[in-house]
């Protein structure tokens, strides 16, 4: 076996030969060199290259073993499993960006997602780097209780215990580790740029290379980022800084809190992996989330008011009004054209129907019935004896059903025929209800 000293001697010898080749190549360019001299120099260069095992020209066949070691393993890709951590929202083993205005709750929602992933056993290990929030914020949000409950499954690195330099040391160790089934969160990404400028591609690309390396080790990565000064409309928000944030991430969302609906809304603006959708949540106690309808969750107080004005207007019309008639009415009520159009488009299929007429290609609108349809159901036992009645309220706008009364009393388990005013009937087990 070679010693380090022998390796050093070999390397120094080859470095000297390499420098000699460079010198001779430059020598050929001298104005004082004759053609015969050039041939002699080229022969010398060829001998030196052979000594370094460098041929003047290589063929692809010479590189076959070398290229094979780096070529795409199609079987590995073919057998790779595509998974969501959250359906149509968070893709496993991908990089996802949450960009949001300051103090809009992105940390709160991210921690809640971590808790959900652990509860549902979608992830084995959470590694959360928090260089943004103060100790008081952690206590207010009960992060310490979550840490107490999950212990080692929920690693939370915070300035109260870990300096930024120590966080970077941990990240360097993670880059060398198998991170399969681990989720790593960076809160927020600007704190891990090591003095870089978030507006410069070269600086942003450096930190994004770290995230991509963690992904290559098997991790799912979520990084939190800020938007520019928030504007009034959700669609006008844009993440701050270099385009490299968007270019180098897999999937990306703009997040905003709707104070009026007490909702957190995520609008997707990049979907490299997965069939992603806009999504909205209510935040519940104990770090849990309830998914809610995105359009409804996005509605501002002004949009809700416009909806009510449109519904009242449609109720009073003897004929189906056109788009321009509704818009004219809304503007007469003092609402802007942009907001009126937004509300009218969002309400289609929810509060009103749009019907395209072949004549003049005009659209007319009609109200979706808001009245509750009450269906009365009679419960009969196996001998066709009456047991009780129950009313089911069906909202024709939402197609949701809810019971207006609970089943009273205890019944023996039996197969029961249920008949309603719809004319439908079915066998049902009363005890299961």
- In this structure, what DSSP letter does residue 56 have? S
Contact in structure between 93 and 219 (CB atoms under 8 Å): yes
Q: For tokens 């019309």, what's the residue?
A: 317
The alpha carbon dihedral of 296, 299, 305, 307 has a sign of negative
What is the per-residue pLDDT for 76?
Answer: 82
Backbone angles phi and psi of 182, in degrees to 5: -115, 145
Backbone angles phi and psi of 103, in degrees to 5: 60, 35
Q: For tokens 């015969």, what's the residue?
A: 36
Query: How far apart are alpha carbons 217 and 198 in whole angstroms?
Result: 25
Query: How far apart are alpha carbons 337 and 297 in whole angstroms?
Result: 22
- In this structure, what DSSP letter does residue 200 have? -
Q: What are the distances in angstroms from CA 263 to CA 66, 300, 374? A: 55, 11, 31
pLDDT in tens, the chain (433 residues): 778 898 899 899 989 999 999 999 989 888 888 888 888 999 899 888 888 876 556 678 878 888 888 898 888 888 878 899 999 999 999 999 999 998 899 999 999 999 999 999 999 999 999 999 999 999 999 999 999 999 999 999 999 999 999 999 999 999 999 999 999 999 999 999 888 889 999 999 999 999 999 999 999 999 999 998 755 554 567 889 999 999 999 999 999 999 999 999 999 999 999 999 999 999 988 899 999 999 999 999 999 999 999 999 999 999 999 999 999 999 999 999 999 999 999 999 999 999 998 877 889 999 997 555 555 666 677 777 777 776 654 433 333 333 332 222 333 333 333 333 333 444 444 443 3
Query: How far apart are alpha carbons 390 and 337 in whole angstroms?
Result: 47
What is the per-residue pLDDT for 386?
Answer: 72
The alpha carbon dihedral of 371, 318, 345, 228 has a sign of negative
Please state the separation of Cα 399 from the chain's center in Å. 29
Query: Would you say domain 85-298 falls under CATH 3.40.50.300?
Result: yes
Q: How do 154-158 and 125-130 pair as beta strands?
A: parallel
Q: Where are the domains of the chain?
A: 4-68, 85-298, 313-367, 372-432
Contact in structure between 379 and 337 (CB atoms under 8 Å): no
| Residue pLDDT, tens place only, 117-165 | 999 999 999 999 999 999 999 999 999 999 999 999 999 999 999 999 9
Contact in structure between 315 and 371 (CB atoms under 8 Å): no
| Residue pLDDT, tens place only, 330-359 | 999 999 999 999 999 999 999 999 999 887
Contact in structure between 254 and 234 (CB atoms under 8 Å): yes
127 strand-pairing partners: 155, 184
Q: How do 90-91 and 84-86 pair as beta strands?
A: antiparallel
- The pTM (predicted TM-score) of the whole model is 0.70
Angle between the 35-51 and 4-27 helix axes, to the nearest 10 degrees? Answer: 160
Tokens, residue 226: 């800020």
What is the per-residue pLDDT for 56?
Answer: 55
Torsion angle in degrees (nearest 10) through CA of 332, 338, 340, 343: -170
Best CA proximity match to 268, nearest among 247, 280, 249, 252: 252
């Amino acid at each position: 076996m070679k010693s380090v000293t022998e390796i050093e001697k070999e390397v120094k010898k080859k470095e000297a030969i390499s420098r000699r080749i460079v010198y001779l190549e430059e020598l050929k360019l001298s104005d004082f060199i004759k053609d015969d001299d050039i041939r002699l120099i080229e022969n010398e260069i060829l001998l030196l290259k052979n000594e370094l095992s460098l041929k003047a020209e290589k063929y692809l066949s010479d590189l076959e073993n070398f290229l094979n070691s780096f070529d795409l393993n199609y079987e590995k890709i073919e057998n790779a499993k595509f998974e969501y951590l959250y359906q149509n929202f968070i893709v496993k083993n991908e990089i996802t960006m949450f960009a949001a205005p300051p103090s809009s709750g992105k940390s709160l929602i991210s921690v809640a997602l971590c808790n959900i992933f652990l509860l549902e056993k979608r992830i084995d290990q959470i590694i959360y780097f928090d260089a943004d929030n103060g100790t008081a914020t952690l206590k207010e949000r009960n992060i310490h209780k979550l840490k107490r409950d999950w212990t080692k499954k929920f690693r939370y690195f915070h300035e109260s215990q870990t300096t930024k330099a120590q966080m970077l040391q941990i990240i360097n160790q993670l880059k060398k580790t198998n991170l399969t089934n681990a989720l790593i969160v960076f809160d927020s990404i600007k704190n891990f740029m090591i003095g870089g400028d978030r507006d410069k591609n070269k600086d942003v690309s450096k930190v994004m290379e770290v995230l991509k390396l963690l992904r290559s080790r098997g991790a799912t990565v979520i990084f939190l980022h800020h938007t520019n000064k928030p504007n009034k409309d959700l669609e006008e928000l844009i993440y701050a800084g270099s385009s490299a944030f968007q270019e180098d991430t897999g999937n990306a969302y703009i997040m905003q809190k709707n104070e009026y609906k007490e909702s957190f809304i995520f609008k997707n603006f990049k979907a490299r992996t997965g069939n992603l959708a806009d999504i909205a949540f209510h935040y519940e106690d104990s770090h849990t989330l309830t998914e809610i309808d995105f359009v409804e969750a996005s509605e501002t107080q002004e949009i809700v008011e416009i909806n009510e004005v449109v519904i009242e207007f449609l109720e009073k019309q003897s004929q189906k009004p056109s788009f321009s008639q509704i818009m004219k009415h809304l503007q007469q009520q003092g609402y802007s054209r942009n907001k009126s159009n937004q509300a009218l488009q969002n309400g289609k299929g929810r509060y009103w129907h749009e019907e395209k007429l072949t004549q003049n290609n005009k659209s007319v609108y009609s109200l979706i019935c808001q009245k509750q349809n009450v269906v009365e159901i009679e419960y009969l036992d196996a001998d066709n004896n009456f047991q009780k009645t129950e009313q089911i309220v069906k909202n024709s706008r939402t197609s949701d059903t809810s019971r207006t009364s609970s089943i009273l009393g205890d019944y023996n388990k039996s197969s029961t025929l249920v008949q309603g005013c719809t004319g439908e009937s079915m066998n049902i087990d009363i005890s299961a209800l």
